[in-house]
Structure 1
Amino acid sequence: MDTGTLISFLAVDLLLVCVPGADWAYVIAAGLRGRSVGAAVAGLVSGYALHTALAAAGLAVLVAGSPALLTALTAAGAAYLVRLGWGVLRRPAVPEAGETVEEGRGRVFLRGATISGLNPKGLLLYLSVLPQFLVTRDARLPVPAQTAALGLLHMACCAAVYLAVGVLARSLLGARPAAARAVTRTSGAAMLGIGAFLLVQQAF
């Protein structure tokens, strides 16, 4: 795997990571809960670590070759997005002026891991995008090692982007409850809409 391939994957991966979705919505909400940003980002990255491990073990190829299994995983992720989006709409994570709302770090971490682990965008990346950058002929590295390297690159991109988003959300929206409420509700509506769209798509 040469440098050009890594740079090409990095460019595509950054575009995908920078598109707002469930991960963004969660880390923005976490940014409004004080010090939970690090735990939220660590959880999100750990979910992609699981994706990377499974892909390197060859399970991504198995899932991609099994339409029924892929449909079930996508539906599960979509249903979780709907549940999470509805929860954000009902109870937006907005601290009152001068108050910081905190959750247990373990709970924040586990929720982040679940979100990224079931994120349909993550499934798309590992099942459709990442395999296009693997070198199968005359490769210096075996395919599992290449998969692990690209997965680690994706995790690094997620960590950098999501930390920036969470910190900016905390600094820019923490003292503006009305703006924070609007942003979190928009994020919740986006998750709800994406999840509902994917569920309808899987039904047909």
Structure 2
Amino acid sequence: MLPLETLLPFLGIAIMLSLAPGPDNIFVLLLSAMHGTRAGLTVVLGLCTGLLVHTAVVAVGLAALLAASAVAFTALKIAGALYLVYLAWQAFRAPVGALTTSDTQVKTGKHMYLRGVVMNLTNPKVVIFFLAFLPQFVNPERGHVAVQLMMLGFVFILAALLVFGSIAWFSGAFGRVLMRSARAQRAVNWFAGSVFLALAGKLALSQR
């Protein structure tokens, strides 16, 4: 069991890291502005599910294999870049105008949740970051290392929920005002598509 003097500083660092501009929080900001707060919060749940998977992978030691395998890293990196290109294509083609009730339900349910999961899991840098970051707060004298890693992962997920949830809330509220204009909707869609393409290029060119 990790003491509070370890968990509280870790929570503070995790919040600061979650606030730093990166693919996940930019992803939440853009989709919340485009589809609303509820959609953004659903994406956040998907991203945090991905973080849970990354935590489990690190806890059982599989992350070390991924970090050591150039083929696995490249394959996951390419998959993530292609997914971001797909999101960019969808943003460029997004319709302009008021969404129907059925459209809103689709975009705030399973569809958005899976977007968050895939977005997080196809970024190999997340699991490698966890592999490098979490063990620094582990003390083998305090018990099973895997349990400590899972605890730290849960605390990091809590920080992500707080930060990403806040981003989704405020961005969604701003988006509701912005989306009253068809011209503004079109501009947001094209901006989002361009950002997704830029993130895809950055991921594709990234090194371990």
Same topology, TM > 0.5: yes
Query: TM-score, normalised on structure 1?
Result: 0.79
> 1:7 corresponds to which residue?
8
Shift of 1:156: 0.9
Letter in 2 for 1:157: A
State the match for 1:24 in structure 2: 25
Q: Note the alpha carbon deviations across 1:15-61, whole angstroms, 9 max, x for none.
A: 22112333224323145424323322221111111111222222122
Is 1:23–1:116's contact at 8 Å kept on the other side of the alignment?
yes
Q: Kindly tell me: are residues 41 and 94 of structure 1, through their superposed partners in 2, closer, same or farther at Cα, counting changes over 3 Å?
A: farther
Aligned-residue RMSD, C-alpha: 2.8
The equivalences for 1:45-124 within 5 A come to 45-88=48-91, 90-91=92-93, 96=98, 102-104=104-106, 105-124=109-128
Structure 1: gaps (5+ residues):
none
1:123 Cα deviation from its structure 2 partner = 2.7
Separation in 1, partners of 2:47, 2:153: 13
Q: 1:70 to 1:179 in 2, by over 3 A?
A: same
Deviations 1:128-161 (A, max 9, x none): 222332224xx21211011101110111111111
Aligned runs of 1:149-168 on 2, under 5 Å? 149-168=151-170
Q: What residue identity is the alignment partner of 1:62? A: L
Give distance in 2, aligned partners of 1:76 and 1:200: 13
User: Structure 1 residues 156 and 31, CA, compared in 2 at 3 Å: closer, same or farther?
Assistant: farther
Q: Distance in 2 between matches of 1:23 and 1:181?
A: 22
Change (3 A) 1:145 1:116: same
Q: Distance in 2 between matches of 1:94 and 1:151?
A: 39
- CA deviation string 1:139-189 (max 9, x = no partner): 212110111011101111111112111111121221113556555544443
Residue aligned with 2:127, SS: helix
Q: 2:132 aligns to what? A: 128
Output the amino acid matched with 2:15: L
Q: How many residues align?
A: 198
Q: Which amino acid aligns with 1:190?
A: V
Per-residue CA deviation, residues 62-83 of structure 1 (Å, 9 max, x unaligned), is 2223333233323322332233
In 2, Cα distance between the equivalents of 1:80 and 1:94? 23
CA contact (8 A) 1:42 1:109 kept: yes
Deviation at residue 118 of structure 1 after TM alignment: 1.5
Matched residues, percent identical? 32
Measured in 2, the distance between the counterparts of 1:170 and 1:93 equals: 18
Tell me the residue number matched to 1:44. Answer: 47
Q: Which runs of 5+ in 2 are unaligned?
A: none
Q: Distance in 2 between matches of 1:186 and 1:78?
A: 18
State the partner residue of 1:174. 176
Distance 2:137 2:158 in 1: 17
Higher helix share: 2
Contact conserved, 2:87 with 2:193, CA < 8 A, in 1? yes
Q: Secondary structure at the match of 2:177?
A: coil
